[in-house]
Structure 1
Amino acid sequence: MESKGHVNPGDPEVWFRRFTIGLDDLVRHVWVVRWSIPAGETRPQRVLAYPAGNIVLMPGHCRLYGPDPSVDVRELSGEGWAVGLLLRPAALPLLTSTPPDRLVASSEPITPPPGALDLDDEAALTESLATWLADAAGRIDSSGRLLNDVCAEAENDASLTRVDQLAEHFDLSTRTLERLVARGLGVSPKWLLDCRRLQEAATVLFTAPGSDLAGLSADLGYADQAHFTRHYRRVLGETPDATRRAGRAARRSH
């Protein structure tokens, strides 16, 4: 299954799985991670998520996160677990009264599901999470479904490089498209398109560190390598060379 999230090639002490819970207009998928790291050691986990909301549950922790295009590095140690829900774009306004733009690269507490989560029983975990979010899923309207479709197209159609192309695809004016995306996610359509290109680049640079940077920047539609590098650092929070180094270091550790 293709992932826009974890880009680590896999650590033997970290177990990761994904599944859906049947609320497809609200939740893209659920991921569960468990780890058991030898004493005194850590395992960096690089997460690169396509702009969307997330809910993360850990012992004593349940938070709603807004979209964030940057590379997030979490150092895992000891033993632990986390359950995450990658939300559809329509979800944020249904789960909080906080304006979406205030949640960009930020988070807030959210009331957790009742009862304990059984991580060993996927069917029971699915039922718990689906029941918890059923009310929000039932309130998704035609505007929310349109936002989901717009963001899916921005993510999956590499031929779309300009906002006016995305708007035309859905027979919308550019201004209407901008309002739709801002109201649901707190970001701009251009941000969605930029993140798709740069996150594709980040995945290539991490998994194939020897890739030619000039060729990659040209393939992604940048005028030159310098422009690509500046834009990459501004959006993802690190340079292309830093991503390459992380990829090489991950391979040396396995």
Structure 2
Amino acid sequence: MIWDLEAPYTQENLPHPSQHLVIDPVGGTGIFGLQRAKFTYRLEGRGAVVGTKFRPGMFRGFLGRPMHEITDRTVPVQSVFGVDERILKEELRGANDPATMADRVEDILRERLPDPDPRAEEARRLVAEISRAPDLFSVAALAGLAGVTARSVQRLFEDYVGVGPKWVIDRYRMIEAVEALNRNEETSLTALAHALGYFDQAHFSKAFAALTGKPPSSYRRAAE
């Protein structure tokens, strides 16, 4: 990402069930575990950041230990890939084209590419199923799709994704809510809450505000 701004801008992102490798000459460089809170980044002046987003479940092979151990944490790039972060920052500062830095990151990953892992692929598949099935609301339903017990799905997600499956289900349903409000659809908040599997509007509004920092009614007004 590159920017050249006359005025500062704060970018907000809702978290997805992924890990990231980030090279940021000004801010934080490192391996970012799954972040459960909303992520805020302030852009000002001129700058560039290179980030690599890993598919759910797929960073487990690089890290070599359960993903929940780095959830809501940042670990040094060197501890996983053996590359000094200071060198990466200087390389990005000196790059005329950030695409060159993206190629550098790809080389780092290819040098340490883990062996195929069927459990990682299963975790990725189940997260993808959650993302495209808006009527999937429970861990029991997900376990039924996988043909295993709910406890097996729980262990798989904690090990390979970094959080339990209910968090992932709730987060994708909430992302759908934000997208619906951005589209300013002619749907009541109560109807939206029920469509996303919430018991009532109060529970939905509480969960929405906990993630975004404001109630859905305010979000809808801002989108108008």
Alignment TM-score > 0.5, same fold: yes
1:52 and 2:28 aligned: no
Q: Matched residue of 1:197: which SS?
A: helix
| Contact kept in structure 2, 1:205 and 1:211, CA below 8 Å | no
Choose the corresponding residue for 1:71, options 38, 59, 62.
38
Report the structure, 1 or 2, having the larger strand content: 1
**Cα shift at 1:207:** 4.7
Report the structure, 1 or 2, having the larger helix content: 2
Per the alignment, do residues 52 and 91 of structure 1 end up closer, same or farther by CA in structure 2, a change over 3 Å counting?
same
| Contact kept in structure 2, 1:119 and 1:125, CA below 8 Å | no
2:3 is matched with which residue?
Answer: 35
| Contact kept in structure 1, 2:58 and 2:121, CA below 8 Å | no
Q: Distance in 1 between matches of 2:62 and 2:201?
A: 41
1:171 and 2:147 aligned: yes
Identity of aligned residues (%): 25
More deviation, 208-217/72-81: 208-217
Runs of 4+ aligned residues of structure 1 deviating over 6 Å after TM superposition are none
Q: Matched residue of 2:16: which SS?
A: coil
Q: Distance in 2 between matches of 1:195 and 1:218?
A: 15
Kindly provide the amino acid, as one letter, of the partner of residue 9 in structure 2.
Answer: R
More deviation, 180-189/205-214: 205-214
| Contact kept in structure 2, 1:69 and 1:195, CA below 8 Å | no
Kindly provide the amino acid, as one letter, of the partner of residue 86 in structure 1.
Answer: K
| Contact kept in structure 2, 1:209 and 1:244, CA below 8 Å | no
Q: Matched residue of 2:113: which SS?
A: helix
More deviation, 229-238/188-197: 229-238
1:214 and 2:190 aligned: yes
Q: Distance in 1 between matches of 2:49 and 2:148?
A: 39
Q: Distance in 1 between matches of 2:96 and 2:143?
A: 42
Q: Distance in 2 between matches of 1:216 and 1:160?
A: 15
1:193 is matched with which residue?
Answer: 169
Q: Distance in 2 between matches of 1:77 and 1:245?
A: 27
| Contact kept in structure 1, 2:182 and 2:220, CA below 8 Å | yes
Structure 1 spans left out of the alignment, 5+ residues: 1-32, 249-254
1:103 is matched with which residue?
Answer: 70
Q: String of CA shifts for 1:126-148, please: whole Å, max 9, x gaps.
A: 53222111144333411111111
2:55 is matched with which residue?
Answer: 88
Choose the corresponding residue for 2:121, options 142, 145, 154.
145
**Cα shift at 1:192:** 0.8
Choose the corresponding residue for 2:200, options 210, 224, 234.
224
TM-score when normalising by structure 2: 0.81
**Cα shift at 1:228:** 0.7
TM-score when normalising by structure 1: 0.72
Q: Distance in 1 between matches of 2:221 and 2:31?
A: 31
Q: Distance in 1 between matches of 2:163 and 2:51?
A: 22
| Contact kept in structure 2, 1:93 and 1:184, CA below 8 Å | yes
Q: Matched residue of 1:137: which SS?
A: coil
More deviation, 95-104/41-50: 95-104
Q: String of CA shifts for 1:79-128, please: whole Å, max 9, x gaps.
A: 11111111112233333366532422232221358662546374x44532
**Cα shift at 1:193:** 0.5
More deviation, 55-64/90-99: 90-99
Give the root-mean-square deviation of aligned CA atoms.
Answer: 2.7
1:130 and 2:106 aligned: yes
